[in-house]
Structure 1
Amino acid sequence: MNTEQRTTTARQLYQKMESARKPYTDRAEKCAQLTIPMAFPKESDSSSTKYDTPYQSIGARGVNNLTSKLMLALFPPNAPFFRLSLGDDIKAQLTNDPATQQEWEAALGGIEKQITQYMESHQMRVTMNEAMTQLILAGNVLLFLPPKEGGMKLYRLNQYVIARDGIGNTIEIVTKESIAYGALPPEAQRCVDGDNIEAHKAIDVFTHTYLDGESYQSYQEINGAIIGGSEQTYPKDASPWIPLRLRKMDGESYGRSFVDEYLGDLKTLEALSKAVAEVAAIASNIIFLVNPNSMTRISELQKANAGDFVRGRLEDIQALQINKTSDLQITTTAIQSIEARLSYAFLLNSAVQRNAERVTAEEIRYVARELEDTVGNIYSILAHELQLPLVRRFMNQMTGTGAIPNLPQGAKGVEPTITTGIEALGRGHDLAKLDTFIRYAQVFPEAFQTAVKQNEILNQIATALGIDASSVVKTQQEIEQEQQQAMQMQMAQQVAPQMMQGQQ
């Protein structure tokens, strides 16, 4: 496609692709209404829009809890979520040169820390937290990282359209932004028709990015005119645009959300919670009925103080009751059942510990591990579509500013490997298996001391916990050296008294 000779403007393309996106935005709006309404506002909403508060809070609690767990699992604080390792070709060349290989690995470790500090210093964690919320609610979100400048921009599902091929590769992206005229650069202001335009007037800016061979072409336009200097070209594997999906659906350009799968339970819980709240409000309105033929005077009762005596009959006055206690018990039981199911789905702590007098710590760990397994598939797609592209974008940004050297990638250079998410989940299972093995092996103390490779067990435990084993576990060579030094010191202590006696 040539931006100079195009038959369809970015605005027209955006409007044409909106129809395919609409079912997904409609579902996202329903999911937001039952959880956090302001997290996914409609395109027509503004700062003055008032959102209805749901009658139940478990939806909002679940979304916030799952967002926090995903952030901690994918991007642990103050620790790299990836590891830079040498490609196979370089490793083969350095097989006979362990000293140089160790220097390379030490240098890559320093770059890992630099990239992690870069992410924290540019407050990208805040945007990533919002992205996790959008994925859970809407199932889709678009991130943009400028090639040379720091920071990160987020686009909600109703702010962009996308087209993918059959295997999920991005073919085309069109974003829509409303920017005040006064905030536009001079090149963009020239594309706006009219004189004396107010500075606060919102102008729609469309950004079109499309795949052209082995690279992505991008440009921006206003009112069908391309903004001068906005044309950009990006390598296919280093595009600043990162479109994310939570649930991949083959043949679809958009993904599905986590909340969408539990929309039925949330709708039912909302309806039942609303009914209980309304009945409770009615029941709290106390009204007394008085027998019209009674001898009890209402005026005397109203004037009476506590402890006064008033002439009247008890049966003349009765409080109005709705007599729906048994029906409300059925409703309450249904609410508790739905809340329990949603607690399991959203990994809430209330689902980990069952309601009983005695609950062992092992039972809690088992249930928590089982719940973590249910979101393992989320880690898989986010490792491929979020974490790996994110590392490459950070490296490109920092290379452009000269913060880190330009490193070749792939088998002939440096390969980033994700160490959190699904990888950490697998190591957690390895740790559980090691724990079980140790407990069974210690039933036979003598065999455990003589037949089990205890040093290797320590190495595997450190690896399962994500700790560098070489920094906390002594090697066999170090152990032998310490033993030899201890024997030499012991011999020296034994020889010293004899030498003193000989001298006397």
Structure 2
Amino acid sequence: MSLRDEYTPGRAAERYKHMERDRWPFLQQGRYNAAITIPWVCPPYTYRTPHVNLPKPNQGLAFRGLDNLVGTFLGVLLPPGMPFFKVSLQPSVEAELIAAQGDQLGSVVSALSKYEMSFVEAIEEDGDRAGISSGFLHLPITGNVLLHLLPKGGVRSFGLNQYVVRRGPTGKMLESVLVEATRVSSLDRDHQLQVCGTNDDLAFSDEIIDVYTHVFWDADDNRYYEYQEAKGQILEGTEGNYPEDAVPWLPLRWSYVSGEDYGRGLIEGIYKDVERFDHLSKAIGDASKNAAKLIWMLGGGGSQALANKLSKAQSGDFVVGDAASVKALQQEKAVDLQVAIKEKEALGAMLSKIFLDGTSIQRGGDRVTKFEVEYMARMLQAAYANEYTIIGREFQLPYFNAKTAQLRRRGVIPQLQKSAIKIAITTGIDALGRGSDQQSLETLAEAASKISQVPEDMIIHREYLRRSAANLGVKPDGLIPSDEQVQANQQQRMQAQMVQGATPEIAKGLVGGALQRQGAAIEQAQQQGQSPEPAPPQ
């Protein structure tokens, strides 16, 4: 299909309707998952229907658990104030800087660190985290979400009921169509006139129309193209194109089956457990309400007159009657309820473990320690290694590339020479920052301090440090001097000591010569009958 065919008016709406059929089973399962967890994530009706009369889960554990899980994911994959990537030099470039000696390598590393922090500050200033967090909440429920990086900063997220997607064998996005129910009054004036075809007061119209955004891959140009369409017309000025590594549209998946265009959510795998927990919560809640309801029963010896007296009696009043004929109604279901309560508690503990509820290792205060955060990150990395791989490939690297291109266009960060640097996306514990690198350096420094106390004839110090650096993952180049550098440094120190030892004698000779010259000048002045001028200070 040619590019001209893709830009045909009405094409976006046609493609959306055609691709809806493949999305249907995933959307239906997502609605089931949302109904017992967070209903508004995937409501049981179309995108144009207001979110009213949503299903109401009978428990809040799923909401709290998913919110905790998503927050943990976001905190580890996109840590606040810390880079989730590392910019480093290519080995050949680093070797050249080390060979040049001096502090060139340190200066370059410092500049790259500033580059990383400028990137992180831009993320915080643009408010990307809010949109990404909202989008991540869709992933464990429906298994899918579409993120859009806005040109001026910020991220929007769209649920599975608003977009369709087509992927290649490797999971690469080949085509995506997004539909939004939009008020005519929210469009640009030019687009209002184009859609409505008149110049009257339709700018303030409350009419709601479908606006489609069509994004597709053109293999001939190796670029992504996009445009918007409404009422069968391509909105003028909405056309755009991007290189493969800078497309701002990211269709994410929680997990997936090879060959499928859409992902599978976490809740789909534990649906029956969550559903049973929800039913038990309702049953126990209803039983508790019935148990709290007080109903008095009158036996055969009672009468309606006695019932009237009891209903009107105040606290402390006397009523004449037979107490044995009055009895409170009881359910007598305590044993049965205990079985339900124990099963609910077991299910709740299992679900809390799945949702990584870490309250057991956190203090009750507002702040937590670094150890507690790292503990949660280790739990996340161990429990969701597969999801790390998928999200790292489909979110972190594409997001970094698209955000980098965006910030360069805005002049926030400079252009780096691709041949001289390499980018490494960090996940898991490393995503919390460079604490692990710093800890390795501190451990190596501690080892150097200890080995310095051991005689050189017992163990070779530099070889010990080199092996320690290798075990800790620290590059020794530029940090641990080579044998040639040690010899050169020793020669420089010896020369400096020789110069320092000769300095007092040289200074003594200079002072003695100055005094002799000053004495001769005074003697000459006295012979001529003149007062000697004071000698300038030395």
| Native 8 Å contact 1:300 1:310 kept in 2 | yes
Q: Are 2:229 and 1:221 aligned?
A: yes
Q: Are 2:208 and 1:208 aligned?
A: no
| Native 8 Å contact 2:83 2:433 kept in 1 | no
- 1:19 and 1:123 map into 2 onto residues whose CA distance is 35
| Native 8 Å contact 1:140 1:246 kept in 2 | yes
- Post-superposition CA distance 1:200-246 (Å, at most 9, x none): 21221111111112111222111222222222121112111111111
| Native 8 Å contact 1:217 1:233 kept in 2 | yes
**Where do residues 94-493 of structure 1 align in structure 2 (5 Å cutoff)?**
94=97, 96-98=99-101, 99-146=103-150, 148-193=151-196, 195=198, 196=200, 197=202, 199-213=205-219, 214-294=222-302, 297-349=306-358, 369=378, 372-409=381-418, 412-421=419-428, 423=430
Structure exhibiting the larger radius of gyration computed from Cα positions? 2
- 1:150 and 1:204 map into 2 onto residues whose CA distance is 24
Residue number among 7, 11, 36 corresponding to 1:34 in the alignment = 36
| Partner residue in 2 for 1:497 | none
Q: Higher mean Cα deviation, 34-43 or 454-463?
A: 454-463
| Partner residue in 1 for 2:526 | none
- Post-superposition CA distance 1:7-32 (Å, at most 9, x none): 77110100110111111111222222
- 1:216 and 1:342 map into 2 onto residues whose CA distance is 41
| Partner residue in 2 for 1:17 | 19
TM-score, normalization: structure 2? Answer: 0.74
| Native 8 Å contact 1:462 1:469 kept in 2 | no
Q: Higher mean Cα deviation, 53-62 or 178-187?
A: 178-187
Q: How far does residue 384 in structure 1 lie from its aligned partner after superposition?
A: 1.4
**Letter of the structure 1 residue corresponding to residue 155 of structure 2:** M
**Letter of the structure 2 residue corresponding to residue 394 of structure 1:** K
- 1:432 and 1:90 map into 2 onto residues whose CA distance is 26
Q: How far does residue 150 in structure 1 lie from its aligned partner after superposition?
A: 1.8
Secondary structure of 2:341 counterpart: helix
- 2:376 and 2:242 map into 1 onto residues whose CA distance is 46
Percent identity for Structure 1 against Structure 2:
31
- 2:412 and 2:359 map into 1 onto residues whose CA distance is 46
- 1:71 and 1:221 map into 2 onto residues whose CA distance is 33
4+ residue runs over 6 A deviation: 364-368, 425-433, 450-464, 474-477
| Two-structure CA RMSD over aligned residues (Å) | 4.3
- 1:113 and 1:431 map into 2 onto residues whose CA distance is 17
- Post-superposition CA distance 1:330-368 (Å, at most 9, x none): 111110111111011000125769xxxxxxxx9x99898
**Letter of the structure 2 residue corresponding to residue 16 of structure 1:** H
| Native 8 Å contact 1:343 1:350 kept in 2 | no
- 2:335 and 2:270 map into 1 onto residues whose CA distance is 28
Secondary structure of 1:162 counterpart: strand
- Post-superposition CA distance 1:55-92 (Å, at most 9, x none): 11110111010011111111112111111122355446
| Native 8 Å contact 1:388 1:416 kept in 2 | no
| Partner residue in 2 for 1:436 | none
- 2:3 and 2:155 map into 1 onto residues whose CA distance is 26
- 1:113 and 1:125 map into 2 onto residues whose CA distance is 16
| Partner residue in 1 for 2:448 | none
Secondary structure of 1:127 counterpart: helix
- Post-superposition CA distance 1:271-303 (Å, at most 9, x none): 111111112222222111112543682233334
**Letter of the structure 1 residue corresponding to residue 392 of structure 2:** A
- 2:52 and 2:476 map into 1 onto residues whose CA distance is 54
Q: Higher mean Cα deviation, 66-75 or 276-285?
A: 276-285
- Post-superposition CA distance 1:369-416 (Å, at most 9, x none): 45640112222221111111121122111111222222243xx14322
